[in-house]
Amino acid sequence: MTDVDDTPFRLACVFLTMGDRPEGLERAIHSVRDQVGDPIEVIVVANGVPSPEVPNDVKVVALPTNVGIPGGRNAGLEVANADAILFLDDDGFLPYPTTAQRLRHLFDDDPRLGIVSFRIADPESGATQRRHVPRVRVGDPHESSEVTTFLGGAAAIRRSVFDEVGEFPAAFFYAHEETDLAWRALDAGWRIVYDASCVLCHPATSPTRHSTYFRLNARNRVWLAKRNLPLPVAVAYLATWVVLTIARTRTLSGLSAWSSGLLEGVRTPCGRRKPIAWRTVWRMTRLGRPPLV
């Protein structure tokens, strides 16, 4: 008779803070600590800012300088002792106390499920922005599906994914680090699911509020293609993106910053290059998002 492994599936949660949203962070921590089931290890990474005041059972990782979003999340990952890690924005919160319970069931039921992307809802209107649904044909945001990427500030990732494919690319600093990890995970055979029942309440915002958005978005998009895509696919991916960006960008300042980032991405090293297999390209295509858009 085979023994049944009844070891609890351990969860940890990493919050990355810049120290400018203490009330939001407090609410976020409480929403995690109030989850049904086994306690969740909570880690706060102070990214180049003074350590915040947090409950005694919350771990704090104090970084002397701002290492960017992926580097900060990696710092939290390094001290997490769990089977899966939630990465949540510090101004968001879990509105339902059963989210952790659902995550445990999802991961237990499918050993090849690597990443769960949450539905992000505005706390006042309940609406989910189009850009927060990680699929080309958004459809109904309340409908779950298998996807090819995820939202970095509203996701749960199995530890085994990091063990197999590595951490977030710290050099990206901001933008597209999630997609880089997602493509590596898909290439290794992991599944990524957008689960609409796992909800993070987060105020509706625009990514362009960040002053470096256009430059880093452009640079990292080029790095993403250079690092991960077969050459013909990389060329098509970048060509499509250039055309769409020129058509959509409404300001000269935005286009100027974008052009600067594009050239930076072409000229600078991007780290290791390991193109995904053609079978992964086909798999992504079958899931409705070929690596061309």
Model confidence at 1, in pLDDT bands (50, 70, 90)?
very low
Model confidence at 86, in pLDDT bands (50, 70, 90)?
very high
Task: Please tell me the predicted confidence (pLDDT) of residue 211.
Answer: 59
pLDDT one-digit tens code per residue, 176-235: 999 999 999 999 999 999 999 999 999 987 665 555 889 999 999 999 999 999 999 999
- Separation CA 140–CA 74 (nearest Å): 32
pLDDT one-digit tens code per residue, 20-53: 889 999 999 999 999 999 999 999 999 999 999 9
- Separation CA 150–CA 161 (nearest Å): 14
Structure tokens at 41: 């290890």
Name which of 182, 78, 74 is nearest 135 in CA terms.
Answer: 182
pLDDT one-digit tens code per residue, 130-158: 999 999 999 999 999 999 999 999 999 99
Q: Which residues of 67-87 are buried (b: 16+ CB within 10 A; e: fewer)?
A: bbbbbbbbbbbeebebbbbbb
**Percent share of the chain, pLDDT over 70:** 96
Strands 191-201 and 41-47: unpaired
How confident is the model over 264-293, as a mean pLDDT?
95
Structure tokens at 183: 């493509």
**Percent share of the chain, pLDDT over 90:** 87
Q: What is the DSSP letter of 114?
A: E
- Separation CA 284–CA 280 (nearest Å): 6
Instruction: Estimate to the nearest angstrom the gap between the alpha carbon of 259 and the chain centroid.
Output: 25
Which CATH architecture group holds 11-205? Alpha-Beta Complex (3.90)
- Model-level pTM? 0.94
Task: Please tell me the predicted confidence (pLDDT) of residue 5.
Answer: 59
Q: Which residue has the tokens 């997602």?
A: 182
Phi and psi of 233, rounded to 5°?
-70, -40
Phi and psi of 147, rounded to 5°?
-135, 180
Model confidence at 62, in pLDDT bands (50, 70, 90)?
very high
Average pLDDT taken over every residue of the chain: 94
With contact defined as beta carbons under 8 Å apart, do 219 and 262 qualify? yes
Task: Please tell me the predicted confidence (pLDDT) of residue 250.
Answer: 77
Task: Please tell me the predicted confidence (pLDDT) of residue 208.
Answer: 56
Task: Please tell me the predicted confidence (pLDDT) of residue 3.
Answer: 53
Task: Please tell me the predicted confidence (pLDDT) of residue 31.
Answer: 98
Structure tokens at 79: 């001290």
